Structure 1
Amino acid sequence: MKAFIVKSYGKKEKLHLTDWAEPTLKENDVLVQVNSAGVNLLDSLIRNGDFKLFLPYKPPFINGHDVAGVVTKVGSKVSRFKIGDEVYSRPSDYRVGTFAEFISIDENDVALKPKNISMEEAGSIPLAGLTAWQALVEIGKIKKGQKVFIQAGSGGVGTFAIQLAKHLGAFVATTTSTKNIELVKGLGADLIIDYKTEDFETKLKDYDLVLHSNRDTKILEKSLRILKSGGQLISLVGPPTPEFAAAIGLPWYLKLIIKLLSFGARNKAKKMNVSFKFLFMRAEGKQLGQITELIEAGVIKPIIDKIFPFEQTNEALAYVETGRSRGKVVVKVK
């Protein structure tokens, strides 16, 4: 099969299109013929080696974290899916590789594709959808009437998170550029801040939750200050926390490094009587199934900026790296 692989780590490295062995199937796996694969900044960070401290993939390996496609084979113990099912997934860490014609995935990480959307739209959802779900539902436990600040509202996670937060009954503030104001307003944002001309800290106060996605340390400090006492900041960009290090079973010396890396952020949060949490989303088929229900009910609609042909996966990744995409970018494999 054809696949885009990481030959070696590096920011200047491109993914290499090559012939690769078709995946083998474990007893709990389904083999999926890839139709569409969402493109994420995570794909760039993995290629760059930014996460090799705690996600040490050994090159060469296939990149890609989002998939929609059709089940073509099932393992001997698979009970939830059959050949011909249209599915989507964010495969587990160490089992990624959606920039390829086929991928084998544990059935627990898979859900049936929503019936009312295209394969391309389905391929755009899993990573962003699960990130928003785990931040707002699982960790944040957002309740009706609470105030949520979602940074970068027109991005892949942002467009999904705004819709989910509104469904949960929250008042939603977000940042975006002038050209995307109508987009985020249409998704349900209540208060929109043009980050190029306005300072969100002067407009927001006493928020219950911040979904933080900006690497600027000044933005992090401002985000902590707009929270009310007992509020929580959930960061998608770090620094990672000791709780995260423990959850993924890192050795003691890496736990120590991560503890030191996040000490400043955690300490500032503690002084303000708020919490700082790091979310590195995980594969979860059951949650994806709940997302399917919301999409089929018309509560959430996927937002796609561009669809690239499979051969232009590097161009798709470069476009995502500009940070200018409105919603998600997808490569069409089949």
Structure 2
Amino acid sequence: MDEIFFRLNNQLDTIQIEGSAIVQQLYHWLLSCCSQSKQFLNSINNEFSNYQFKDIGSIISQFVNKLIEQISHQYTSIIINSRDIYQQFGSYCLNDVTRRDIAYCTLGMTIGGLIGYSIGFNWRSTAKRIQSMKALVCQHYIGFEGVTLVEDAEIPTIQRPNEILIQVKAASLNIIDAKITNGYSKFYRGLLNSGLQKELPVTLGRDCSGIVIEIGRNVVNFDIGDEVYLAVPSWSSGTMAEYLVIDNSKVAKKPKNQTFEASACLPYNGCIAWDALANNAKITEGNAKGKRFLIYGGSTPVGCLLIQLIKLWGGHVTAVCKFEATKVLLALGAHVIIPLDECHVEKELELHDTFHTIFYTGDYGVDQRLLKRHLRLGGNIISTVPDNLTSDSFGFIIGNIFSGYIRLKILFQYIFGIDIYHWNDGSKINSSTLDIIRQLVNNNQLQGVVGAAFRPIHIDEALHHVVNPNAIGSTIIKF
């Protein structure tokens, strides 16, 4: 015990010496300031003849001198005898405190300190950002008129350890965004989201590309500065904002040889096309060769990707599209083009052999029962057009009953480890598909087709371009 007191006494002496040096420096600094103040006041007194002003300056100077003298006197009168302090402390510990008490005290302080540090580290409040960002949002479900450019939206912050903050460089505008402006998926949006994302306003955009600028503490597969792309389902908050926070499992690194604009049109449409081809039609690289495929709406974003994938895997592609898109689709790999506005499609199809699979990628008002006539035995028609959701028109009573059913289903999904993100079109979106698309693009086997690019201020023109039947490829918003 004496050895411990001796070491502690030496430490306190060292601290006292260092503290004395600091106070001495402060004391000399104050004396210097006082001297300079005196000189300043004397110079002013010499320049002015107002005796009252001189008196005031003299009084101030005397007050400062007195203050310095008091500080100096109080400092010199303070004497800390570290040896007496530790002797008294040691006497108290030896007489009134047992070793068991000291052990419990030390253990309690250690545990309490660890708990406090853990709570402070995990619950520390995040400082609010004062910066604002631009975002394209739907304020009311009244069509395109309800979409506005908000220039003072709050920049989102990372709230969970697995999230990343992305600076969006470009986002793609899809046909489903045009439907959202009329209330598409509003029931699921209010049910599956939380906080402000449950109600209006709704940020548009289903996919984007950008740069990672901040990561959560548990993120290991991304670094700050990585170029990434991603897609979100129709009921989720959109991507058309300058900054976006999202779980890192929903993100993939973008193709290296593609611009941000070209990469932005790939995630959502690429996942939809891959799901239609690989999961619904059961077409893969090994069984597509020699088969015939019809893509009704070959100039849509999904149609452009389907043509390239089928051609890559050895299938025969017949595409139905507007005449203006003929050259583009032939360049993408289509073998036969049937122009919509140059001939009667039904009669033209009768001149061709039947198809193993027909993909319907655009809302052209065609009765799909007529298309079945051109299918081979065992073939099927696969539509990539967003389904109409009857839940969006439910009233209060039916809506609450259906809501209870959905919540129960979500509970069972949670029990069996199924992510809530995989709901409706969310089940088609996953990072593994995005990785496959990236590899195909990096190998120059797949490319995005950008039909037009707009600035956020021209959102109205961009929305009309999306629904234009003559549009070719994707519509991009550049931030």
Which band: TM-score by shorter chain? 0.7 to 0.9
**CA drift at 1:144:** 1.9
Residue 301 (structure 1) aligns with: 447
Relative to its length, the structure with more helix (as a share) is 2
Structure 1 alignment gaps of length 5 or more: 243-249, 257-278
Residue 300 (structure 2) aligns with: 155
The sequence identity of aligned pairs, in percent, is 30
Residues 252/181 of structure 1: CA separation in 2 closer, same or farther (3 Å cut) = farther
Write the distance in 2 (CA, Å) between the matches of 1:130 and 1:317: 22
Residues 238/111 of structure 1: CA separation in 2 closer, same or farther (3 Å cut) = closer
Write the distance in 2 (CA, Å) between the matches of 1:54 and 1:224: 32
| Cα deviation digits, residues 169-193 of structure 1 (max 9, x gap) | 2111110122221111111111211
Residue 275 (structure 1) aligns with: none
- Could you say what secondary structure the match of 2:367 adopts? helix
| Cα deviation digits, residues 16-48 of structure 1 (max 9, x gap) | 222222223222221110000111111111111
Q: Tell me which of 225, 232, 237 is aligned to 2:385.
A: 237
Write the distance in 1 (CA, Å) between the matches of 2:248 and 2:304: 27
Deviates more, 1:125-134 or 1:193-202: 193-202
Q: Tell me which of 146, 160, 168 is aligned to 1:34.
A: 168
Residue 228 (structure 1) aligns with: 376
**CA drift at 1:280:** 3.7
Q: Tell me which of 76, 79, 82 is aligned to 2:223.
A: 82
Q: Tell me which of 227, 246, 249 is aligned to 1:108.
A: 249
Say if 1:154 and 1:326, in contact at 8 Å, map to a contact too: yes
Structure 2 alignment gaps of length 5 or more: 1-132, 191-197, 391-398, 406-423
Say if 2:359 and 2:384, in contact at 8 Å, map to a contact too: yes
Residues 4/126 of structure 1: CA separation in 2 closer, same or farther (3 Å cut) = same
Map 1:208-223 → 2, pairs under 5 A: 208-215=356-363, 218-223=366-371
Map 1:1-334 → 2, pairs under 5 A: 1-18=133-150, 19-25=152-158, 26-56=160-190, 58-142=199-283, 143-196=288-341, 197-200=343-346, 201-215=349-363, 218-237=366-385, 239=387, 253=402, 280=425, 282-333=428-479
Counterpart code for 1:14: G
Say if 2:300 and 2:362, in contact at 8 Å, map to a contact too: no
Which of these two proteins has the greater Rg computed from alpha carbons?
2
Counterpart code for 2:205: G
Deviates more, 1:197-206 or 1:220-229: 197-206
| Cα deviation digits, residues 48-82 of structure 1 (max 9, x gap) | 11333555552112111110000011122222111
Counterpart code for 1:320: V
**CA drift at 1:299:** 0.5
Q: How many residues align?
A: 304
Counterpart code for 1:3: A
- Greater relative contact order, per chain length (Cα 8 Å cut-off, separation 6+): 1
Residues 309/238 of structure 1: CA separation in 2 closer, same or farther (3 Å cut) = closer
Deviates more, 1:48-57 or 1:23-32: 48-57
Write the distance in 2 (CA, Å) between the matches of 1:224 and 1:23: 48
Residues 130/239 of structure 1: CA separation in 2 closer, same or farther (3 Å cut) = closer
Relative to its length, the structure with more strand (as a share) is 1
Write the distance in 2 (CA, Å) between the matches of 1:309 and 1:238: 26
Residue 128 (structure 2) aligns with: none
How high is the TM-score relative to the length of structure 2?
0.59
Counterpart code for 2:431: G
Residue 32 (structure 2) aligns with: none
Say if 2:176 and 2:386, in contact at 8 Å, map to a contact too: no
- Could you say what secondary structure the match of 1:294 adopts? helix
Write the distance in 2 (CA, Å) between the matches of 1:251 and 1:130: 32
Residues 225/331 of structure 1: CA separation in 2 closer, same or farther (3 Å cut) = same
**CA drift at 1:240:** 6.2
Residues 123/83 of structure 1: CA separation in 2 closer, same or farther (3 Å cut) = same
**CA drift at 1:239:** 4.8
Residues 314/209 of structure 1: CA separation in 2 closer, same or farther (3 Å cut) = same
Say if 1:11 and 1:47, in contact at 8 Å, map to a contact too: yes
Residues 14/208 of structure 1: CA separation in 2 closer, same or farther (3 Å cut) = same
**CA drift at 1:86:** 0.2
Residue 272 (structure 1) aligns with: none
- Could you say what secondary structure the match of 1:129 adopts? helix
Counterpart code for 1:228: R
Aligned CA-pair RMSD: 2.5
Residues 14/319 of structure 1: CA separation in 2 closer, same or farther (3 Å cut) = farther
Deviates more, 1:228-237 or 1:119-128: 228-237
Write the distance in 2 (CA, Å) between the matches of 1:106 and 1:220: 39
Residues 125/251 of structure 1: CA separation in 2 closer, same or farther (3 Å cut) = farther
**CA drift at 1:214:** 3.9
